[in-house]
Structure 1
Amino acid sequence: MPRLTLPARAAFVVLLTAGAALAQTAPASAGASSPIAADADPYVWLEKVDSPEAMSWVRAENQKSLAVLEADPRFPKFNEQALAIAQSNERIPFAHQIDGKLWNFWQDAQHVRGIWRATPPADYDAGGAPAWKTVLDLDKVAATEHANWVWQGAQCEAQHENMCLVSLSDGGEDAATVREFDLRKGRFASGGFVLPKSKQSAVWENPNSLVVAREWKPGELTASGYAYVVKRLRRGQPLSAATEIFRGQPSDVQVAVSTLDDAKGHHALLIQRGVTFFESETSLVTPAGIRKLALPRKATVVELFDGQLIVKLDEDWATGGAQFSQGMLVAVDLAQAIARPDALRATVVFAPTARQAVEQVSGTKTGLVVTTLDNVRGRATVFTRSKDGAWTPTPIALPDNTAVDISDTSMHTGTAYLTLAGFLQPQSQWRVDASAQAGQLRSLPAQFDASRDEVEQFEATSTDGTKIPYFVVHPKGMALDGSHPTILYAYGGFLVSRTPQYLGTMGKLWLENGGVYVLANIRGGGEFGPAWHEAGLKTKRQIIYDDFAAVAHDLVDRRITSTRHLGIMGGSNGGLLMGVEMTEHPDLWNAVDIQVPLLDMLRFEQIAAGASWVGEYGSVANPDERAFLAKISPYANLHRDVKYPKALVWTTTKDDRVGPQHARKFAARLSEYGIPYYYYEVIEGGHGAGANLKERAHTSAIEYTYFARQLMDQ
């Protein structure tokens, strides 16, 4: 299956889908007051997440907002439709190849928390409805243990694949409890490994030994709330007997562990010391001790194939007498890396053009599967390595104008599974064999009527002249009269690419009702490689907000919509984007959907895992960066004398990543200034829309009811 390396980095990038999911000069009044000083913040009490006072405020706010939104005559139908889509059995049962079977985690109306089940490969690859055998019923486990368990995945010992580490979260938090599960006996292992609740990463060193990064002593965490001490835990040992093998610094973002294995028996156990969110030091755990690799800090080891460490470069690298450019995928020989970690040599696997970017990398028994973007359109290629070390690409023939994702690979087989989707094309699953031949296994039926819609791609010109691509999903033959209710979505950060994805719930609740959807590929993302991201880092970030506003102006100039009918949507880092756009351009939108956001950029480092994102946003400890953060912080730049659109601000109590504090304080400030708004806080659910299908559907119904009221009614 595709590998992830630095958990804190991967975890933050939870992308709220559009179906769930700049600056021109700011108005003079928007900069009229100085930012709120952190020590004078009257709403710090709302940062105490579970305090009785804060929760009383939350319930009162929820009651006010739901009394309006749930009473809207459209809400019951929206909720029913969203829930039907969420609970539909017409979903692709994505699975992982483990121990000779295909394993799938499944949720539906009868299995709200979910079941883990298995089927033989021949049955799965037949493309129909496999005959599944349930091995773990999480609903039953939660009921027996009186716990609110949420599935966080399983990691299986690579060589034998009979024992797995199952991660379970309380209500959707990032912190998880890890338990050893015996696949062949179908139960949690008696006397097996158990790691109590923590933000942690744990990997198999061998069948009887784990390497774990976690909070070993109370408070032994980085300022970001993640582990920095790594220990070896042998079978039968209590946690107190684990042996320390690596120690980072409390000032690090995180220290995490991962393992990579290939079909030829090579094994790499990696320790990543996250010095900043985007910079890390990578070391190998070897029998002779820890070997720090002389890789650039902005580089990630993403796979092990044919004895080669596959490295994605996010910065230029000179090594072994050769020069490699950022964005490249390169290979480093594992044996050589162990022998001479300070003198690495590399070969190029793939070198993208200016309009391409590497997305995912995952190995099979016979080839290295790589997905890329080409002008924000998905591509997939299988690379093989000859005896002389040369890499040969074989493109996989797939439909165009879609997003392409690797859903699973295995070092034990030559089979890879890919997922394809477009804005109007439902998800389909493709099986790729050892010869790079692809065939469609299954496709979802349409969840909405897309026959009346089409997709176009345009470009807007940002303030520095850069062309910003964006997609528009709209009714065929749409009159260009500025009357169309339009939702504009973007993310704009953390090197995350936003690509065409099937709209599902949005299609049913929005497009079928005449709405238009726009996806903007603004800077800050990874659509065109590391440089596209780095253009908006820290004090350069205003260009990201300029890009978004430029797309909005282009939509209005093309008469696709007007400010009266234009709404915007974004979550997490995209929630910050929404807050900035609301405060910088209050007259450009009539609806702002702010999802699980960052909003107080003068205190973000002190809230939840905020300290880990200094590499993206900067720090208030740096005077120049603090001045910029004060200028753009939505919480600090709300003003009484400005007419803002009536925003929907929502979050979740259990979000231990961004935290609900930002949304709470922003809403409290809106209330203080007499600015109309809606506020909604899901009591469960982590950094997302809810802990289960019903909660997520309910949140979606609230959002589209809000958009209909703001963009269609007035």
Structure 2
Amino acid sequence: MRNILRWTTALSVLAASPAFANELTDTNYPDTRRGDVVETLFGEKIADPYRWLENDVREDKEVADWVARQSAFTDSYLKQLPQRGWFEEKVRGLLDFERFGLPDKAGKRYFYTRNSGLLNQSQLFVRDGLDGEPRLLIDPNTWASDGATALSGWTPSKEGSYLLYSVQDGGSDWRILHVLDVATGKVLEDEIRWVKFSDLAWVGEKGFLYSRYPAPGEGEAFQSANYDHTVYYHELGTPQSQDVVVYRTPEHPEYNHSVTATQDGHWAIVTSSIGTDARFEIHAIDLTSKDWTPRVVVGGFDDAWELVEGMGDKLWFVTNKDAPRKRLVQIDLGSKTPKMHEVVPQAEDILERAGIVGNRLVLNYMRDAASHAVIVGLDGKSAQEFSLSGIGTASGFHGKPGDPETFYSFTSFNRPPSIFRMNIETGETTPFAEPEMDFDPEDFAIEQRFYASKDGTKVPMFIVRRKDVVAAGKPVPTLLYGYGGFDIALTPGFSASRMAWIQAGGAYVLANLRGGGEYGRAWHDAGRRENKQNVFDDFIAAGEYLKAQGITSEDGLAINGGSNGGLLVGAVTNQRPDLFAAAVPQVGVMDMLRFDRFTAGRYWVDDFGYPDKEADFRIIRRYSPYHNIADGQDYPAVLVTTADTDDRVVPGHSFKYAAAIQHADLGDKPHLIRIETRAGHGSGKPTDKVIEESADILSFMAEWTGLEVPEF
């Protein structure tokens, strides 16, 4: 099915439509105006003919027209793919199960999210007591007719009297805060706007702390760079204009500030960062004092510091200071100068996070990108390994000092998240919510292998297939996924779209590339800035390994990645177009010379470098997807995806890249762009849109790798 004839036939079908009559030939894409922008950067002339596509689609009629024509072109092609109907129904079926979020206990109340199956947005429930009757508190599905307004975050006050929650509209990173009276279900008049990248922290039952930026100028909300992040205190019943500045750095408007509070209400902890690197300064504010003057706990922006919990003047942190794989320390604020001592030293595995539950510490470790947990005393002694159900990812273990109850989640490639309740003192674990699926997890094989990258570095990958596919021993169409950046570890987890690909008979492969957080600080450093090419080499080596090992055929490999992973897909497609049959870069950073000029892009210099510094420019210029398209070479089929409300990686990145690959001579396979409306970088996307997008992407990759879907 996947050949030039299919592409030509598809276009012939499209050409029969009046909207496309006399417009299409084999690769006759919608017209895109080429501008004459040329800049000289460090002695090199850089052409940017599609600069105009950076403009906001809401404000620029020419960009809006281009988006409409590209969307019609792409939609018409995707809708006729023979595999699409199967994938749409399969993904819908795999999402149609009851699923829960981790409960949060406040006072005697338990708060948690639940989706009955195909609701566009999960609902928020509360129980008065663990065995109490569930009561619906918030239903985001009533907020917008298209389901694109989401409940993005929430936290109950300590006694559970109030619920502070944030609303996300159309996938944007901007949030609006509201407060709900839990007893009555009434939403209070309090409303806070222009919140972004914020934690939420209650101060007693009468107010809360949050972070926001100044209100943007007219027409700049989704494009302009974000500066002057500030922590505020809001007292219930007062207007936002009266909110009090708690922490701000006007002399350093580039700093980011998030705030949290200890369970005993003693300290507010402000964590400041400069970019995306986990290099923080920590300030503490004594909430029991009338004087909320911030006190320096850790200065210097040298290391990572993640607050675990506080009791009295003692604070526990997970840090990589003098421990690249992280350790647990305690800092005593009882003296004039904070004193630190080690509680749990660095281990061979990565210490991801920790929590205090009752009178013990739960330590969540990662070993070769999979989770395991250890329980120790508050002094770090008497370690006890906590057994999990095979290769997977555990999360949660949140709790309160003095309360032995905690909840955790476990998931894997073949297992949707299950929620468990645990008594830390007795060790008793009981299910809180286990999903019922229409497939047997034991029908699927999860294998971890290590392969050699270009420089000999051993890189892990997970390979997931049906067991009967493994037994057959034949190459199958394979979806290779990667990210490789920002100290983010990719771990086993359930995805309906990936499971649909696997159930169709394909292989799914997750490569744990350098640049991520799978092995600590050194692994991250080996894949960023001047070492970024290592990430691309790791991914290319993964593709070569899968072919050499007979996992996939010579023309059966599809690649996919989002955000920084979209950059990855764009870069390796330019560098090795012969290796891949299909490529799907999602919401990718494609113009590496201008990424720092929009919204949150300026934070990414920690991983990418500074485009306005010559040494960094020379590096990123070599791999920028938009600037390195290999004109004259045959490319794989490419489906670029983005969304009109993405204010994390602005859609102009994908617009420009798609225009450039359509203009270049790259062979006969299709090079398309899919543009979602009323959606952003990914979070808050309604279920209906998730199903549609998954069906489009999976059927596109199936078409060009030869994956034959089963009969209905």
- Relative to the length of structure 2, the TM-score reads 0.85
Which residue of 2 is the match for residue 644 of structure 1? 635
Deviation at 1:91, TM superposition (A): 2.4
User: How many Å apart are 1:669 and its aligned residue?
Assistant: 0.6
Task: Please say if 1:63 is aligned against 2:72.
Answer: yes
Does 2:288 correspond to 1:294?
no
Checking the alignment, whether the CA contact within 8 Å between 1:453 and 1:474 is kept in structure 2 is yes
Greater shift, 92-101 or 510-519, is seen at 92-101
CA distance in 2, matches of 1:208, 1:594: 46
State the match for 2:502 in structure 1: 511
Q: Does 1:333 align with 2:338?
A: no
- Relative contact order (C-alpha < 8 Å, sep 6+): which is higher? 1
Instruction: Provide the residue aligned with 2:696 in structure 1.
Output: 702
Structure 2 SS opposite 1:405: strand
- Shift in Å, 1:706: 0.8
Identity %: 25
Look up the SS of the partner of 2:633 in the other structure.
coil
In the alignment, the residues of structure 2 paired with residue 440 and residue 208 of structure 1 have an alpha-carbon distance, to the nearest angstrom, of 35
- Is the counterpart of residue 383 in structure 1 residue 376 in structure 2? yes
Distance of 1:34 and 1:585 partners within structure 2? 28
Encode CA deviations 1:108-155: one digit per residue, 9 max, x unaligned.
Answer: 57743443212344438xxxxxx4211222233447xx9953111112
Given that 1:223 and 1:611 are in contact with CA atoms closer than 8 Å, whether structure 2 keeps it comes out as no
Structural RMSD (CA): 2.9
CA–CA separation in structure 1 for the residues paired with 2:368 and 2:234: 46
* 2-structure distance, mates of 1:465, 1:200: 38
TM-superposed CA distance for 1:277, in Å, is 2.0
Preserved contact between residue 357 and residue 374 of structure 1 (Cα < 8 Å): yes
Deviation, structure 1 residue 168: 0.5
Flag the 1:294–1:302 CA change in 2: closer, same or farther, 3 A: closer
- Out of 651-660 and 498-507, give the one that drifted further: 498-507
1:368-405 CA distances to partner (integer Å, 9 max, x unpaired)? Answer: 222111222210122321xxx45443222222222212
Would the alpha carbon gap of residues 61 and 615 (structure 1) be closer, same or farther in structure 2, given more than 3 Å must change? same
Residue 280 of structure 1 corresponds to which residue in structure 2?
280
- Kept in 2: contact 1:136–1:187 (CA 8 A): no
Residue 35 of structure 1 deviates from its aligned partner by 10
Output the CA distance in 1 between the equivalents of 2:636 and 2:590.
Answer: 17
- Tell me how far apart the structure 2 counterparts of residues 414 and 382 of structure 1 sit (CA, whole Å): 12
TM superposition shift of 1:665: 0.9
1:196 aligns with 193
**1:620 Cα deviation (Å)?**
0.9
The answer as to whether partners of 2:561 and 2:585 remain within 8 angstroms in 1 is yes
For residue 413 of structure 2, the aligned residue among 413, 423, 435 is 423
SS at match of 1:345: strand
Which residue of the other structure, out of 107, 118, 141, is the alignment partner of 1:139?
Answer: 141
Change (3 A) 1:414 1:196: same
Determine if contact 1:689/1:695 at 8 Å carries over to the other structure: no
Q: Distance in 2 between matches of 1:224 and 1:271?
A: 22
Q: Distance in 2 between matches of 1:470 and 1:34?
A: 41
Partner residue, 1:681: 675
The question of 1:98 aligning with 2:92 is answered: no
> Secondary structure in 2 aligned to 1:369?
strand
**Secondary structure at the counterpart of residue 670 of structure 1:** helix
3-state DSSP class of the match of 1:497?
Answer: coil
Residue 333 of structure 1 contacts residue 346 of structure 1 at CA under 8 Å; is this kept in 2? yes
Unaligned runs of 5+ in 1: 1-32, 125-130, 317-324
The equivalent of 1:128 in structure 2 is none
Give 1:617 shift: 0.8
State the distance in 1 between where 2:546 and 2:507 align.
Answer: 11
Query: In structure 1, which of residues 301, 304, 311 is the aligned counterpart of residue 309 of structure 2?
Result: 304
Tell which deviates more after alignment, 607-616 or 471-480: 471-480
- State the SS of the aligned residue for 2:706: helix
Residues 498 and 630 of structure 1: CA distance in aligned 2, closer, same or farther (over 3 Å): same
Q: Tell me how far apart the structure 2 counterparts of residues 503 and 142 of structure 1 sit (CA, whole Å).
A: 26
Alignment of 1:364 with 2:357, yes or no, is: yes
Structure 2: gaps spanning 5 or more residues: 1-37
Match of 1:476 among 467, 473, 482: 467
Instruction: Find the aligned partners of 1:310 and 1:223 in 2 and give their Cα distance.
Output: 37
Name 1:403's counterpart in structure 2: 393
SS at match of 2:155: strand
* 2:69 maps to amino acid: A
Residue aligned with 1:597, SS? coil
Cα distance in 1 for partners of 2:531, 2:139 equals 49
- Distance (whole Å) between structure 1 residues aligned to residue 343 and residue 600 of structure 2: 36
Match of 1:153? 153
Does structure 1 retain, via aligned residues, the 8 Å contact 2:454–2:541?
yes
Alignment of 1:282-681 (within 5 A): 282-286=282-286, 287=289, 288=291, 289-295=293-299, 297=301, 298-307=303-312, 308-316=314-322, 325-336=323-334, 339-341=335-337, 343-353=338-348, 356-385=349-378, 389-406=379-396, 408-411=398-401, 413-435=403-425, 436-448=427-439, 452-476=443-467, 478=470, 483-507=475-499, 509-675=500-666, 676-681=670-675
The alpha-carbon deviation at position 75 of structure 1 amounts to 1.2
Length-normalised TM-score, structure 1: 0.85
- Report if aligned partners of 2:40, 2:46 keep a CA contact under 8 Å in 1: no
Do the aligned partners of 2:224 and 2:599 also contact (CA within 8 Å) in 1? Answer: no
Distance 1:267 1:542 in 2: 46
The match for 2:182 is 183
CA separation in 2, counterparts of 1:200 and 1:179?
16
Give yes or no for contact 1:248–1:273 (8 Å, CA) kept in 2.
no
- Give the AA of the match of 2:65: S
- CA 408–83 in structure 1, closer or farther in 2 if over 3 Å, else same: farther
Residue-pair matches, total: 651
Distance 1:418 1:140, change over 3 A: same
In terms of mean alpha carbon deviation, does 44-53 or 358-367 score higher? 358-367
